[in-house]
Structure 1
């Protein structure tokens, strides 16, 4: 009777997946599989159980499978035949159980070996796929696994640095000595131990900047929506010096995001601000030497909905506020990985930095403090002057009727 076989692509995916399950990288962190191995007298685990794992069901086309006992006999036989070609796996004689071909090292020794053959590579886009990175680095040496660590401040998202584990320490050292380019971006390569030091510092800084659980401000401002940008001329690399900026600044609304004429919300006032901006910006729409909010929106909208652009004509710095944190992360990742180390806006490059921690909290607090201040001033003027005395028209909160309240430049973490 002929032994069933898997297609070439499926066999390759299945072999890679099962080798990973029993690898030095996964076993120490996989409590379920580690427990199954310890419970077994021979250190082998039911192959049907392995085939019932989510990723294996995907490879084998068994997504409707409910129980390990329901794995078809022919499928088990075909998987077993594929796994017999592995040097790191061992199968029982009947092909119904699988395990490691070598014993697992002690945790301390294992971690040391893993670190010695693992490198950290960056930057990668937010949406990069593990399979693409594995295929890329396999060109240079055999890859055991690829891990995509999460952002320290937001565990939902990839941090931009991938950990590549090679088959041995020599391969890792060889790759570290090369100059590699992925998706147009020159990669920064470093030993995993160096990456771990950086992660510890990032985690410590994040904890220092995190508001205490008792702080009323902790949940009163949105997280992860802001990126700060700096414009530099493509031709000179100098900070943006947009033609005619002196005249345009005075025509722009000096109040930015924090103004509030009549107690309305920040969003309502931003709509007014946008209208005032457009009345001036229409003159410079086609001027490549002048960056407008509309130009910035056109560039950044491809990463997600831009809620507001905090920027005045003639300045070289500002803030983009997105509707979702994911969009801010995508924009930052794209800027970092771009050949120009930023995003092209007319004749300028916009380099990006996320606004986090104290800087983020300060930005939102200033917005709201200014809103409350102007709201209070407006009420005060209305009570003193009212409609007949026209006192309400002076309720701008600034000296001599000047418009104030723009948030100061927040520190970029």
Structure 2
């Protein structure tokens, strides 16, 4: 009877996956597999166990078979046949076990070798896929593995810097000397040891700034969601002076107050006059010399969900508030690495600065102060003064130039 075989694509994926499991890159960090190897007299591990790992089950179409004993014999034979073609793997004579063809180096020596052939590349969007990065860097040298480290402050999210391990130190050095662009962004390439030093400082800073259990309520606000931007004309290079002196055109795009949900610090925007908002947007939509909130949101949403754009027409400064800290970090990294030192928005460059520390605290405190003020006003019958029944008398929301009372001042940039 003929030996079962895998399709070409499946065989390629399976071979690469098992080679990675037993590679210098993975075994030192894989306590489970390392233990199984030590428990075995010949250093080989059950192939059925390997095939029961989630990624292998996905490659083999065996998602329902979670236990090693459930893996079909025909599949094991086909996988064993595929793995015999590898120079880095050893398969037992009966085809039921697999392992490394060479012994593992001592830990210190192994780590030194791995670091010498690994580079750190950034910035990447938080949704980037490992497979896409592997395919990209494989164009320049053979890639052994791609790792996506998590954010120091929030382990749920990718930090934006990928670690690319090549098959040889010379390959890593060759790639470090190139200028590479991925998804429109010029990449910053550095040796892994430099990345490790930066991560160590970030971890130390995070521990220093971690709120203690007895922190007062003032400190309970979302961290890392804000970036401040300044618009500069592409042609003049000066602070943006946007057109539109007509009173009809100066109506704020998306005019509406916002309030804070005390439970999680997120914002809940009040209902706005949709007709007025659309009218303003339609006037400026095709005007390249006037930036709208929609224009800013379109540029920044590729880094993550945009919660709120704190910006008024004809101003040259504002804030972008994201849903997740990683999105804010990604946007800032992309702006810094861009050739224009910022992100293009119509005929302007938006230079970015992260808002942290006292500036960040001030922003949220002012916003919450406005929220408390707004709550108090809800208990009173609104005034009907003014020609157009605007609340608060002739000037509507009050304040000079039609600005709303209680709107947070521009917080100091960190």
TM-score (structure 2 length as normaliser): 0.80
Q: Establish whether residue 20 from structure 1 lines up as the match of residue 41 from structure 2.
A: no
> C-alpha displacement at 1:293, in angstroms?
2.6
> Is the 2:224–2:355 Cα contact (8 Å) retained in structure 1?
yes
Q: Is the 8 A contact 1:241 1:314 kept in 2?
A: yes
CA offset digits 1:98-120 (Å, max 9, x no partner): 11122222222221111111001
The farther-off stretch of 244-253 and 117-126 is 244-253
Deviation of 1:331 (Å) = 5.5
Mapped partners of 1:330, 1:142: distance in 2: 27
Between 1:108-117 and 1:401-410, the stretch displaced more is 401-410
Give the superposition deviation at 1:304.
Answer: 6.2
User: Paired residue for 2:44?
Assistant: 44
Question: Does the residue aligned with 1:165 lie in a helix, a strand or coil?
Answer: strand
Aligned to 1:407: 408
In structure 1, the residue matched to 2:178 is 178
Match of 2:128 in 1: 128
Q: Where in structure 2 are the equivalents of 1:151-162 lying within 5 Å?
A: 151-162=151-162
Query: Structure 2 CA distance, aligned partners of 1:50 and 1:268?
Result: 49
| Kept after mapping to 1: 8 A contact 2:123/2:160 | yes
Q: Distance in 2 between matches of 1:118 and 1:107?
A: 16
Partner of 2:97: 97
2:32 paired with 1:10: no
- The CA deviation string for residues 16-42 of structure 1, in whole angstroms up to 9 with x for no partner, is 111111111111111111111111111
* Greater displacement, 225-234 / 117-126: 225-234
Residues 272 and 116 (structure 1 numbering): CA distance in 2 closer, same or farther, change over 3 Å? same
State whether residues 152 and 203 of structure 1, in contact with CA within 8 Å, keep that contact through their aligned partners in structure 2: yes
Q: Are residues 251 and 94 of structure 1, via their aligned partners in 2, closer, same or farther at CA, if it must alter by over 3 Å?
A: closer
* Other-structure match for 1:62: 62
Aligned residue number for residue 362 of structure 2: 362
Give how far 1:336 is off.
Answer: 6.6
1:197 aligned residue: 197
Kept in 2: contact 1:256–1:405 (CA 8 A): no
CA distance in 2, matches of 1:268, 1:181: 38
Instruction: Assess if the C-alpha contact under 8 Å between 1:248 and 1:314 holds in 2.
Output: no
Which moves more between the two structures, 87-96 or 323-332? 323-332
CA 409–248 in structure 1, closer or farther in 2 if over 3 Å, else same: farther
Give the equivalent residue in structure 2 for 1:188.
188
How far is 1:59 from its partner? 0.4
Paired position in structure 1 for 2:163? 163
**Contact 1:223–1:325 (CA under 8 A) maintained in structure 2:** yes
* CA deviation string 1:156-202 (max 9, x = no partner): 22222110001121111111112222222222111000111111222
Please give the residue correspondences for 1:10-409 in structure 2 after superposition, counting only pairs within 5 Å: 10-217=10-217, 220-243=220-243, 271=271, 284=284, 286-300=286-300, 306-323=306-323, 342-356=342-356, 358-372=358-372, 404-409=405-410
Which structure 1 segments of 5+ residues have no match? none
Kept after mapping to 2: 8 A contact 1:27/1:34: yes
162-171 or 213-222: which moved more?
213-222
Segment of structure 1 superposing worse, 51-60 or 172-181: 172-181
Partner deviation per Cα, 1:68-109 (whole Å, 9 max, x = no partner): 012111211111111112122112121211111222222222
Q: Which deviates more, 219-228 or 170-179?
A: 219-228
Alignment TM-score, normalising by the size of structure 1: 0.80
Matches of 1:193 and 1:343, distance apart in 2: 30
Q: How far 1:203 moved relative to its partner? A: 2.1
Q: CA deviation at 1:223?
A: 4.3
Checking the alignment, whether the CA contact within 8 Å between 1:19 and 1:89 is kept in structure 2 is: yes
Distance 1:375 1:97 in 2: 68
Q: Kindly provide the CA deviation profile for residues 239-267 of structure 1, in whole angstroms up to 9, marking residues without a partner as x.
A: 322236798999769x996899xxxx996
1:194 counterpart SS class: helix
SS in 2 for 1:50: helix
Q: Displacement of 1:398 after TM fit?
A: 8.3
**What is the DSSP-based 3-state SS (H/G/I as helix, E as strand, rest coil) of the residue aligned with 2:238?**
coil
Q: What is the alpha-carbon distance in structure 1 between the residues aligned to residue 197 and residue 317 of structure 2?
A: 31
Pair 1:170–1:246, CA change in 2 (3 A): farther
**Closer, same or farther: CA 90–402 of 1 in aligned 2, 3 Å:** closer
Deviates more, 1:30-39 or 1:361-370: 361-370
The structure, 1 or 2, with the larger RCO (C-alpha pairs under 8 Å, 6+ apart) is 1
Q: Does structure 1 conserve the Cα–Cα contact (< 8 Å) formed by 2:311 and 2:318?
A: yes
| Equivalent pair of 2:185/2:334 in contact (CA under 8 Å) | no
Give the 3 Å change call, closer, same or farther, for CA 236–88 of structure 1 in structure 2: farther
3-state SS in 2 of match to 1:41: coil
Report deviation, 1:349.
Answer: 2.8
**Which stretch shows the higher mean deviation, 241-250 or 126-135?**
241-250
Larger mean Cα displacement after TM superposition, 196-205 or 286-295: 286-295
- Aligned partners of 1:342 and 1:352 also within 8 Å: yes
